[in-house]
Structure 1
Amino acid sequence: MNLAPRFINTLSAPLRLLPTLAHSQALALVLNQVMKDAIAEGELDFLIGRTVGIEISDLGIRYRLGLAGGRIRGHGEGAPAAATISGGLHEFMLLAARREDADTLFFQRRLRMAGDTELGLYLKNFLDAFEPPPQVAPLIRGLDRLLGEEKHQPRRRNR
């Protein structure tokens, strides 16, 4: 029996009490480390002066992120998102664990995009092409284990 969904829902209950700003700043700290090279190479410059939203609909948690001063910054609800990607926790975990690519999740409408389509497509394309640094491989393996024993093939990239 896979206890991960019940565990995650129990764990997320207190997180819903925190404001969007706190969630966003915490995520920004992590993303600045994971995406350090991509930021330095200008791959996220499309976010300069823009705010994107990430909404984990089944948990009721929202993030607002942008790029300023060469760093990903977390924002609160006062920063309206020009584009928003939303979906369930499971879909975001599939994406992070590299089990599914962004194109598949959007095509199957398991992830949804609203707002500025051009900005959303830049973000989707970045997420699909992004190769996490080797240091986060243990985290990705952990996410993969959390997702359970579903049959899957690791996605391959054409470069």
Structure 2
Amino acid sequence: MAMINIPLLPVKLGLRVLPDAWHAEIATRLFNHLMRGQTGAERIAEIDGVRLCLSIVDTGNELLFEIRGGRLERARRASAGTREWQVRIRGKLNDFLLLATRSEDPDSLFFSRRLALEGDTEIGLHVKNVIDAIEFDPRAHFVSVVGPWVVDVAQTLLFSNVTSRRTRNTTK
């Protein structure tokens, strides 16, 4: 089983101490920011209106989201007696981190039951497929955020710095 190379104890403590609504808000802002410039981001619109719950079993957190306008939004709690989500993904923190960082294949996480889908199966499988289709492209993200000119200049400066170091090291 793959493990994320960060200390999980401080993350788990933070998840247990702060309210779930804060974590959901941070997650939505981070997710929506990272989707800027991504080619797979348009697939999120396919699941518009879906209410999704991420249940982190080893910390006791339940983060509620809704897909609106092709964006992930923090969902408000439903009134008493109604189910708050259409699809819930349950699993341990490490497995969610493996999914988020693409360190392990999403299908293997679900088929090995380390992550479990609950609720509307058809919608759940569609959500899983949309998540699986997103391939993060750092360059496209940076171009979308700061513009192509800045990225090109930064890339040129970084590349020329690496080249000049190699040249200096080989001439010594």
TM-score (norm 1): 0.71
What SS class does the counterpart of residue 123 from structure 2 fall into? helix
The answer as to 2:165 corresponding to 1:127 is: no
Distance 1:23 1:8 in 2: 11
Deviates more, 1:100-109 or 1:123-132: 123-132
What SS class does the counterpart of residue 118 from structure 2 fall into? strand
Distance 2:93 2:45 in 1: 27
Q: Spell out the pairing of 1:7-46 with structure 2 (5 A cutoff).
A: 7-15=10-18, 18=19, 20-37=20-37, 42-46=42-46
Provide closer, same or farther for how the CA distance between residues 48 and 58 of structure 1 changes in structure 2, counting only shifts above 3 A.
same
Structure with greater helix share of residues: 2
How much does 1:89 deviate?
0.3
Corresponding residue number in structure 2 for 1:72: 72
Are the aligned partners of 2:28 and 2:74 in contact in 1 as well (CA < 8 Å)? yes
Are the aligned partners of 2:16 and 2:61 in contact in 1 as well (CA < 8 Å)? no
Which residue, 90, 97, 101 being the options, matches 2:101? Answer: 97
Provide closer, same or farther for how the CA distance between residues 126 and 9 of structure 1 changes in structure 2, counting only shifts above 3 A.
same
How much does 1:41 deviate?
5.5
Provide closer, same or farther for how the CA distance between residues 41 and 61 of structure 1 changes in structure 2, counting only shifts above 3 A.
closer
Distance 2:49 2:57 in 1: 25
Q: Report sequence identity in percent.
A: 31
How much does 1:44 deviate?
0.9
Distance 2:105 2:125 in 1: 14
| Unaligned ranges ≥5, structure 1 | 137-159
Provide closer, same or farther for how the CA distance between residues 61 and 39 of structure 1 changes in structure 2, counting only shifts above 3 A.
farther
Say what the alpha-carbon RMSD is for the aligned residues. 2.5
Corresponding residue number in structure 2 for 1:112: 116
Tell me the number of residue pairs that the alignment of Structure 1 and Structure 2 aligns: 132
Distance 1:28 1:35 in 2: 11
Deviates more, 1:34-43 or 1:49-58: 34-43
Distance 1:104 1:116 in 2: 20
Bigger radius of gyration among the two: 2
Distance 2:66 2:25 in 1: 11
Residues 21-55 of structure 1: CA deviation (Å, up to 9, x unaligned): 33222211111111234599630123212211111
TM-score (norm 2): 0.66
Distance 1:114 1:126 in 2: 16
2:113 corresponds to which letter in structure 1? Answer: R
